[in-house]
Chains A and B, each alone.
Chain A
Amino acid sequence: EVQLVESGGGLVQPGGSLRLSCSASGFTFSNYAMHWVRQAPGKGLEYVSAISTYGSNKYYADSVKGRFTISRDNSKNTLFLQLSSLRPEDSAVYYCVKPYDDSISYFDYWGQGTLVTVSS
């Protein structure tokens, strides 16, 4: 059974940092690009970041470019998102998502999400 379990969220002051983790199981993690999608409270889904199978290619939405860093450890089946220079508008539930296949794809599995709140 595929499982994606996010952790690392919490309350942080503007300008602060957090590191989100996503522990994956039930599939061959190193065979898939992985993605982060976020959802601000009461709002829709926003595609945030992606990383290729071995980390050589990375994508960031313009809203987070230069502040967030995506990475992965295939030996530990874990995906990371380093959040820096946080702003109140970064407050959201952050979901780790698995694509159906290793191309531009829909997402067949989502984690339960981890809540990041940026507030003083």
Chain B
Amino acid sequence: DIQMTQSPSTLSASIGDRVTITCRASQSISSWLAWYQQKPGKGPKVLIYKVSSLESGVPSRFSGSGSGTEFTLTISSLQPDDFGTYYCQQYNSHPCSFGQGTKLEIK
């Protein structure tokens, strides 16, 4: 099974900051990577799929990049609504797997 590792585990940033979260796969997953945002008490919401494709309705300040085993999620200018926990997911092979999460706090 493919292991996904995110960093950092927690992140505190200010409104307007550029924020980057990294996700590493234990083996190549080509471009089959998604990012999710989860707010407390809610199910996750997909932000990005296939590394860099923005889900409909997701603000353009979110972007994704990478290939193979290393990927990043970038928020270009942090907004108050961006707090929450972010997860990466590989769907290159079954079973899919998630990173352990990055909790983003607003300073």
A residues contacting B by CB (< 8 A) are 44-47, 50, 59, 61, 95, 97, 100, 104-108, 110-113
Contact = CB atoms under 8 A, between A and B. Distances in A.
Contacts of A100: 49
Contacts of A105: 91
Interface stretch (B11-19, B75-83, B94-102): B94-102
Given A107-B46, A110-B44, A112-B43, A44 B96 contact: no
B45 interface: yes
A75 to B, nearest CB: 26
A44 B91 contact: no
A104 B94 CA distance: 7
B87 A45 contact: yes
Interface of B: 32, 34, 42-46, 49, 55, 87, 89, 91-101
Contacts, number: 50
A110 B99 CA distance: 17
Contacts of A61: 95
A113 B44 CA distance: 10
Contact of A110 (B43, B55, B92): B43
The residue among B44, B55, B96 with the most chain A CB atoms within 10 A of its own CB is: B96
Nearest to A99: B91
Contact of B87 (A44, A111, A112): A44
B99 A44 contact: yes
B45 A110 contact: yes
B95 A47 contact: yes
Contacts of B96: 47, 104, 106
A39 to B, nearest CB: 9
A108 B46 contact: yes
Contacts of A59: 94-95
B43 A113 contact: yes
Contacts of A110: 43-45
A44 B95 contact: no
A108 B67 CA distance: 21
A47 B97 contact: yes
Nearest to A35: B96
Contacts of A113: 43
